[in-house]
């Protein structure tokens, strides 16, 4: 398995739409952060799928070290 890359030490404030499914990049290699663009292929790391429960702004992890993927839990504050 490849190592996870941290693209930024802050969350991504992201608008999501109720009922839509999103794929959060867990490997940190995507050029379309915070979403997956397929760059994980061959790393052994898979994106995290989630469906928005309502239309709102969510905070998706940018450091890729959250304990509550795909959502930011503040871990970046201790890196």
Rounded CA separation 32/74 (Å): 22
Question: For 3-36, how does the pLDDT look when each residue is reduced to its tens digit (9 = 90+)?
Answer: 999 999 999 999 999 999 999 999 999 999 999 9
pLDDT for res 59: 98
Give the residue among 28, 5, 11, 50 at the shortest CA–CA distance from 37. 28
Q: Tell me, what's the pLDDT at 9? A: 97
Dihedral angle computed from the Cα positions of residues 44, 46, 7 and 61, in that order, rounded to the nearest 10 degrees = -140
Q: How confident is the model at residue 1 (pLDDT cuts 50, 70, 90)?
A: confident
- Average of per-residue pLDDT across 47-59: 98
CA–CA dist 1, 9 (Å, integer): 22
Tokens describing residue 40: 């994980």
Between 33 and 79, whose confidence is greater? 33
Q: What is the pLDDT of residue 24?
A: 98
């Amino acid at each position: 398995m490849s190592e996870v890359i941290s693209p930024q030490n802050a969350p991504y404030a992201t608008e999501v739409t109720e009922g839509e499914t999103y794929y959060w990049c867990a490997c940190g290699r995507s050029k379309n952060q915070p979403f997956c663009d397929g760059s994980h292929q061959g790393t052994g790391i898979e994106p995290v799928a989630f469906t928005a429960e309502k239309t709102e702004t969510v905070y998706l992890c940018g450091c890729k070290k959250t304990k509550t993927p795909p959502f930011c839990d503040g871990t970046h504050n201790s890196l």
